[in-house]
Amino acid sequence: MSPDDILEIASGACLVLGAAFVVIGALGLLRFPDLFARVHAASLIDTLGIGFLALGMGLHAGWSQVSLKLGFIVALVGLTSPVATHALAQAALHAGERPVLRSDRRDEGPLP
Amino acid sequence: MTGVTSESIVLFVNTALLLLMCAAALGVVRLRNLFAVVMLGGVYSFLMASLMVALDAVDVGMTETAVGAGISVVLMLSVLGLTKTREAAPRHRPLVALVVSAVVAVSLLYASGDLPPFGDPAAPAHQHVAPEYLARAPVETGAPNIVTAVLASYRGYDTLGETAVILTGGIGVLVLLLGARRRRGGVRQGGAGESPEGTGAPMLRDTVILRVGAKILLPFILLFALYVQFHGDFGPGGGFQAGVAAATGVVLYALVFGVASAQRVAPVRVVLVMVPLGVLIYAGTGLAGMLAGGNYLDYSVLAHDPVHGQHWGIFAVESGVFVTVSGTMLAIFYAFAGRRQAREEEGAGR
Amino acid sequence: MNVVLAHLNAYVAVFLMVTGLFTVVNRGNLIKKLVGLSIFQTSVYLLYLSPGKIIGGTAPIIADRYEIYSNPLPHVLILTAIVVGVATLALGLALVVRIQEAYGSIEEDDVHRQSAPGEARQGGANGGEAP
């Protein structure tokens, strides 16, 4: 197992992990009961999902301009995604959305 | 990385993106909440842009992202702020429309069976002009980006016409939205980002995060726009993408800090001058070619050596395109924002 | 199945085209019509760009490492089409704003009813309040 092979395997594992986190985030987006929980699930995609995907691609590319660009992309997403999430949550609060709390569910019986 | 991908990966990505786009389009038809429809339109455009990159159309993908998923969504949301946000229940039965759509679909599907298979290098489209461009453009124009070379040099006349169309669209919007108000002094100076109810209170209670985020991003957005503009010969880019990116930067500033602050940075008069100025620069470059002894829009005579002449010509016309596109996008945004401002002031009884 | 995959882009472009057409024809809300029109336009871009792709090729930016390039000509044509599309969209939206101010509604039925000859103007009573 040469170092190149190990790098390829690590890169592939990171890509698969990144894709898995994207799927998990999408699943949360569909299944959670209210907007705030859904946005929180979607943030998984922007952080862990893109992070692992970029790491996988960077490992595949080695030290080159490509990995530098990937680093910039991750930094940019890390800056813009929380700002956008904040704006979305603020706008939802302003529009009247309120989070579903456990006290709201108490009368529905035990959680599924 | 060799950059050459295998056929199955291309087909897989292609199919996945196409299916997502179909889902987004169906959502647009079915949903009645107009906010959701507009956002789905933006999602659809973004998926389309990703598909364009997968189809090796990188310049086009960049443009579609900036235009379809950026400016279009902003403009439609600003119009939604002026109208109702829920579509009325459909009153007509969709039978006739469905029949017409089905007939069109069937005939087009039948015809599209004759198109060449996906990705086939022996397709007729790749046999005539394209290999010529690919062979001659780097040598004659010195620009590795063939799309820019064809757009600005070989088909420069078409691009002049397209830039004039953008100018005309901008003039149309300005006439529609500024014409009646001009009696009262032109585009209104907007206040801080005000709520659509017109109370004058800021839309968001806590804007610190947005302000800080926008302030950090803005210099990079503008720098990127300039990079895309000047690097358009060597990588994906050019006047159209750069113009839209620059306008988007100023629009972001206006959304976060208020239209009045944005109009201190990019004054309305300057923007209104930029709109036709770009077309003037473009057409003027063509005239310069004639004055130097060549044909209209012949760049080879602009410098001591044809290749340098092409460089200068492409640089000049792309600058013209940048000025007109950014000016027009910004002028259109100011027109819509000013309309809402005037509406609020009327509603407040001034 | 192979035939479908080989022409999938064209089939989906036709489907999107027809979806956009249906939205424009059947739905009465003007903003929805505009979104449908933009779907129609982007489907045409897809139809144009798909034949330009060559499997094994790369973007048409000349570099020493690559030999096969995708066809640059559709890219040139569609690039300008996109920006022209946004200019016309902006024009359409300006018209929507003016219609809203004149008739108080952006539903096609309401506008027709109010502008039919011989019928008194109902002055924006038909659900024209802003959100």
Taking CA atoms, B84 is separated from A110, B81, C104, C131, in Å, by 40, 8, 10, 6
pLDDT at position B191 is 41
A64 CB-contact burial (10 Å; exposed 0-12 / middle 13-18 / buried 19+): exposed
Distance, in Å, from the CA atom of B47 to the CA atom of B240, rounded to the nearest integer, reads 20
Higher pLDDT, B343 or C94: C94
- Give which of B59, B81, B80, B77 is closest to B69, Cα–Cα: B77
pLDDT at position C127 is 42
pLDDT tens for B181-219 read: 544 444 444 443 444 433 333 455 567 888 998 999 999
**DSSP state, residue B179:** T
pLDDT at position B182 is 46
Q: What is the mean pLDDT of residues B72-80?
A: 91
Per CB-CB distance under 8 Å, the chain B contacts of A79 are: 213, 216-217
Q: What is the mean pLDDT of residues B114-129?
A: 85
Asked if B1 reaches chain A (Cβ–Cβ under 8 Å), the answer is yes
pLDDT at position B187 is 45
Taking CA atoms, B275 is separated from B183, B286, B329, B339, C83, in Å, by 22, 18, 9, 19, 14
Residue B221 CA, chain-centre distance (Å), reads 15
Distance, in Å, from the CA atom of A53 to the CA atom of A16, rounded to the nearest integer, reads 8
Question: According to DSSP H, which parts of chain A are helical?
Answer: 3-31, 35-44, 50-61, 65-95, 102-105
Q: What is the mean pLDDT of residues B88-98?
A: 79
E-strand spans in B130-220? none
Asked if pLDDT for residue C124 goes beyond 70, the answer is no
pLDDT at position A108 is 57
pLDDT over 90 percentage in chain A: 52
Q: What are B82's two structure tokens?
A: 């002026």
Q: What is the mean pLDDT of residues B273-282?
A: 95
B3 CB-contact burial (10 Å; exposed 0-12 / middle 13-18 / buried 19+): exposed
pLDDT tens for B239-259 read: 999 999 999 999 999 988 888
DSSP-based three-state secondary structure for C53? coil
Query: What distance in Å separates residue A105's CA from the closest CA in chain B?
Result: 27
Q: What is the mean pLDDT of residues C47-70?
A: 89
B1 CB-contact burial (10 Å; exposed 0-12 / middle 13-18 / buried 19+): exposed
Confidence of residue C119 (pLDDT cuts 50, 70, 90): low
Distance, in Å, from the CA atom of B100 to the CA atom of B334, rounded to the nearest integer, reads 39
pLDDT at position C118 is 53
Q: What is the mean pLDDT of residues C42-68?
A: 90
pLDDT at position B7 is 79
Per CB-CB distance under 8 Å, the chain B contacts of A83 are: 209-210, 213-214
Q: Using CA coordinates, name the residue in chain B closest to A63.
A: B1
Distance, in Å, from the CA atom of A53 to the CA atom of A17, rounded to the nearest integer, reads 8
C60 within 8 A of C69, measured Cβ to Cβ:
yes
DSSP-based three-state secondary structure for A99? coil
**DSSP state, residue A63:** S
Check CB contact under 8 Å for B204 and A91: yes
pLDDT at position B222 is 94
pLDDT at position B1 is 37
pLDDT at position B192 is 39
Query: What distance in Å separates residue C41's CA from the closest CA in chain B?
Result: 11
Taking CA atoms, C44 is separated from A70, B20, C52, C54, C78, in Å, by 32, 17, 13, 19, 9
pLDDT tens for A52-98 read: 999 999 999 888 889 999 999 999 999 999 988 988 888 888 888 88
Largest CA distance in chain A: 61
pLDDT over 70 percentage in chain B: 89
Confidence of residue C117 (pLDDT cuts 50, 70, 90): low
Higher pLDDT, C48 or C4: C48
DSSP-based three-state secondary structure for A76? helix
ipTM: 0.87
Backbone angles phi, psi at B13, to 5 degrees: -60, -45
Per CB-CB distance under 8 Å, the chain C contacts of B15 are: 5, 8
B277 within 8 A of B285, measured Cβ to Cβ:
no
Question: Taking the domains of chain A in order of start, what are their residue ranges?
Answer: 3-106
**Structural domains of chain C sorted by starting position, each given as residue range(s) with its CATH number in brackets:** 2-115 (1.10.287.3510)
Check CB contact under 8 Å for B29 and C70: no
**DSSP state, residue B122:** T
Per CB-CB distance under 8 Å, the chain B contacts of A61 are: 1
Question: According to DSSP H, which parts of B231-305 are helical?
Answer: 239-257, 259-265, 268-291
pLDDT at position A17 is 95
Nearest to B213 among A83, A91, A94 (CB): A83
Residue C106 CA, chain-centre distance (Å), reads 18
0.95 cut: is pTM over it?
no
| CB-CB neighbours of A110 under 10 Å | 6
pLDDT over 90 percentage in chain C: 45
Q: Choose from B73, B217, B227, B231 for mutation: most chain A CBs within 10 A.
A: B217
Distance, in Å, from the CA atom of B153 to the CA atom of B137, rounded to the nearest integer, reads 9
